[in-house]
Amino acid sequence: MPEKTALEKNLSSWYQLHYQMSEQGFDWGMVPEKNSYKQYMTLTMRHLTKNQWNAIQRATRELGSIFNKTYHYFMKNKRLIENLGMPQFLAQSCCRSMEQEWFSLITRFDFILSDNRIKLCEANTATPQGLPESHIANQILCDYYGLRSPNKIKENLSKMWEHYFQSHKEIRSDEPLYCTTYKWFSEDFNTATFIARCARDGREIRFIPLEKLSVDERGVYDEKGQQIRLLYMLYPMEFLPYDTDKQGKKIGNIFLDLIAQQKINVINPLSATIMQSKNVLADIWKLHMDQSDLFTDSEHESIEKYFIPTYRFDKNKMDDYFAKLGETIVIKPVLGREGKGVRIVTRESVEKIRIDYDDKWYDTQPFIVQQYEELPDQIVDTWSGKEIGKMICGSYLIDNKSSGIYLRVDEKITGDDCYWIGVTI
C-alpha cells in the first residue's frame, strides 16, 4: 500500500482524537455547513512562554477587579444601568436585583496578544462559551503531544460551585441543579451540562430545553410541574423580554421578574448581564480619561495598559473618532455576539470588513467604537493544509480566579466559523 501523505496522517489523527474528545463531552470539532462540514477543532498547538502565561493570568485578575468595582459603582448609580443599551425591562430587572459580591461567576475576557502587549478586545461575562474545549479538548491534545495542559477549568468550576452552595444555605442539598439552553444544540447542551456536572456534591443534574420550561408569577417549573429553584442558564438574558408564549403572554419578562425577586437562583446572575454590555468598556474608559477617583492609581495604570480606547458611538462624530483613534476604527453593537454586527471601517469605506449574517438584531442596537488593533497571525494545520489566520485569546475568570485560555483563529473579525487551537506552556 502507498504510504500515507502528511495530510492523510493528520486527518487520521484528527478523527482518533475527536473520538476521544466526544467520549468525554466535546463532540463539535466539526460543524455542519451547507452540504458538508466545517472544521473547528484542529491539531495545532500554541506554545506560550511562562512569562506570557503569567502576564495573561495577571491581566485577567486585574481586569476582573476593575470590572467588579465598576459593577458596584453601577449598582450605586442605577440610572447608569438603564443607559447600557439593554432592553428596558431587562435593565429594570437588573436594577431591582440584589447586589452581588462578585459581578460574575464565569467570565471570559478576549485579549489581543501582540508585541508583548495584552489588549482587552471585549468581555463575555454572562454566557461564555469554550469551556469544554479548554478542559477536555486541550487536555487530550496536550496528552497526544506529550505536553502539559495549563488550564484549570474543571478544577475552578468545582470550587465555584462549592463556594456558591456555601454562601447559599437556602438551597437544599436534595434540590436538583437544572441546566437549560435554547432548544438542543450539541455545543450549548454539552457546555451547560459540563458546567453543571462540575458541582461535585452529589446533587442531581437535570437538563431541560428552555422552551419546555413553564413560567408563571409564582415560579419556574419543569415538564413534570416541579418547581425549579436552581438553574444554570446558557441563554442571553437580552432575548428574554421578547419571549412570549402561544397566547402572547410575555413570559420572558415574568422570568426576569422572578430572577430579580430571587424566586429562582440563576447562574450567571443578573449582575453578569449588566457587565455584558460593551458600553461598560466605554464607561470604564471615560472614567479613566476623567481620572475618576473610583479607581486607584494602580487600577488607572491597568486600564491604560490593557484597555483599547473605546467610546459610545455617535454616527455624527465619525471625523472625531478618526482624529482620536486613527485611520481605521472598529464599530461594535453593545450586545453583539460571535462577531455579528462588528465593522472594521476606514475613512474611505464605512463597511470595509464585516461578517455576513441575516439577523437585524445586531444592526438596531447602540454601538461602541474602538481603536483598531491588529490580531496576531497564527498558522493552523487544517484538513486541507496549513492556513494563516488571526488569533484571539480568551482568558477565563472563574470564581474570581484566572483559570485558563481558549484560543481561536479566524479572519480579522472572529466569528462562529473560527478554528480552535490548543495551548501549552
Please give the average per-residue pLDDT across 294-305, as a whole number: 98
Do the Cβ atoms of 46 and 407 come closer than 8 Å?
Answer: yes
Do the Cβ atoms of 270 and 93 come closer than 8 Å?
Answer: yes
SS3 content of the chain, % helix, strand, coil (to 5): 40, 25, 35
- Nearest 5°: CA angle at 123, between 150 and 43? 40
C-alpha cell at 193: 451540562
Please give the average per-residue pLDDT across 347-352, as a whole number: 71
**pLDDT tens digits for range 110-149:** 999 988 899 999 999 999 999 999 999 999 999 999 999 9
Please give the average per-residue pLDDT across 104-112, as a whole number: 98
Nearest alpha-carbon partner for 157 in 408, 401, 407: 401
**pLDDT tens digits for range 386-409:** 999 999 999 999 999 999 999 999
Instruction: Give the pLDDT of residue 358.
Output: 62
**pLDDT tens digits for range 248-261:** 899 999 999 999 99
Nearest alpha-carbon partner for 368 in 111, 126, 84: 84
Contacts 24+ apart (CB under 8 A), 139-145: 140/17, 140/20, 140/21, 140/24, 141/17, 141/43, 141/45, 141/422, 142/45, 142/422, 142/424, 144/13, 144/17, 144/43, 145/45, 145/424
Q: Bigger pLDDT: 246 or 241?
A: 241
**pLDDT tens digits for range 42-55:** 999 999 999 999 99
3-state secondary structure of 30: strand
pLDDT at 195 over 70: yes
* Domains of the chain, CATH where assigned: 279-371 (3.30.1490)
Please give the average per-residue pLDDT across 375-382, as a whole number: 95
pLDDT at 58 over 50: yes
User: What gap in Å lies between CA 398 and CA 62, rounded to an integer?
Assistant: 13
Which residues make Cβ contacts (< 8 Å) with residue 283, sequence separation at least 6? Answer: 70, 80
Q: Annotate 53-75 with DSSP letters as a single string.
A: HHHHHHHHHHHHHHHHHHHHHHH
Instruction: Give the pLDDT of residue 348.
Output: 81
The β-bridge relationship of strands 227-228 and 219-221 is antiparallel
pTM more than 0.85: yes
Instruction: Give the pLDDT of residue 1.
Output: 46
Instruction: Give the pLDDT of residue 3.
Output: 59
Does an H or E element contain 319, and which?
A: helix 318-325
Please give the average per-residue pLDDT across 185-191, as a whole number: 91
Taking phi over 0 as left and psi of -120 to 50 as alpha, with beta for the rest, 135 belongs to alpha
User: What gap in Å lies between CA 14 and CA 35, rounded to an integer?
Assistant: 21
The β-bridge relationship of strands 265-267 and 230-234 is parallel
Please give the average per-residue pLDDT across 240-246, as a whole number: 91
Nearest alpha-carbon partner for 104 in 50, 65, 153, 144: 65
